[in-house]
Amino acid sequence: MTLVNPATGESITSPSPAVEHVTINPDGSALIAVTGLQGHLIVGGAPPQAADVGRLVLFVSGPEDEESDVVFQAGKFNSGPFPQVCDVLADL
């Protein structure tokens, strides 16, 4: 996973060796299950500042659905893609 600050062009890359399973239903809806380390934020060799790890299952009603619904979540997740990323990218 790579996150980019569009104002500066600076980026951070995080390994995310998670496994993704997608089931597309005949009506166009889908279930997306992501299991494992979905990303972690390490800056300058310091300990991880944030991590998303566990199992997350999302329901998407169709191709135009911009807001997926969380139907199951277990593990350690931050709100959004690491709230700390904005601070780190701003400093680069």
Which helix H or strand E contains 64, and what residues bound it?
A: none
Domain count, the chain: 1
In a domain, 9, yes or no: no
pLDDT of the residue at 45: 66
In a domain, 87, yes or no: no
Residue 34 structural domain: 15-78
Encode pLDDT of 26-85 as tens digits.
999 999 998 887 777 766 666 666 777 889 899 999 988 888 899 998 888 765 555 566
In a domain, 48, yes or no: yes
pLDDT of the residue at 63: 85
Look at residues 32, 31, 30 and name the one whose alpha carbon lies nearest to residue 20. 32
In a domain, 20, yes or no: yes
Say how far residue 11 (Cα) sits from the centre of its chain: 15
Bridge pairing between strands 69-76 and 50-60: antiparallel
pLDDT of the residue at 90: 66
Encode pLDDT of 71-85 as tens digits.
998 888 765 555 566
Look at residues 35, 37, 30 and name the one whose alpha carbon lies nearest to residue 63. 30
Q: Which residue has the higher pLDDT, 86 or 21?
A: 21
In a domain, 5, yes or no: no
Is 0.85 surpassed by the pTM of this model? no
CB-CB contact of 70 with 41 (8 Å) = no
In a domain, 55, yes or no: yes
In a domain, 7, yes or no: no
In a domain, 37, yes or no: yes
